[in-house]
Amino acid sequence: MERNAHITDIEALSLEAGAFASALSPNAQTATLITLSGELGAGKTAFVQAVARSLSVEETVSSPTFVLEKIYRLPDGKHFKHLIHIDAYRLDSGADLAALGFDELMRDAENLILLEWPEKVSDRLPEPAVRIALTALPDGSRILVYG
């Protein structure tokens, strides 16, 4: 899935995230890992929030910067059972993922894992299903590059 999207406002972000989420399907053997890269304020958490809304998460989805990980149960009928949001900004290396039970989470094919700041833990990450790079532009819009 290699493509770019130009996001001009929050409504466009919601539409983009919804289309992205609906195109995902679980892997047969492991969790589906999506990584999100970009500077502070690029829109990584906003994208995760929009994905969560499109998957009918009713809880408030906020950045897990200080708790590092949040797990949301998805309603029945979705392709995935859980949405796991990990913010690796405060981690020093991939070894720090062990405390989050990352290996166990990855073994469950019904998990959708969205991980912010993958460059902080790249030494322990498996190949993601999709890499998303977000760039904030001076006019407030965003460029999303899927790879």
- What superfamily does domain 3-146 belong to in CATH? P-loop containing nucleotide triphosphate hydrolases (3.40.50.300)
Q: Are the CB atoms for 91 and 120 separated by under 8 Å?
A: yes
Handedness of CA 57, 6, 31, 70 (dihedral sign): negative
Q: What is the DSSP letter of 94?
A: G
Identify which of 60, 76, 50 has the alpha carbon closest to the alpha carbon of residue 134: 50
**For residue range 22-71, what is the model confidence (pLDDT) as tens digits?**
899 898 899 999 999 999 989 999 999 999 999 999 888 877 766 789 99
pTM: 0.92
CA 26 to CA 109: how far, in whole Å? 6
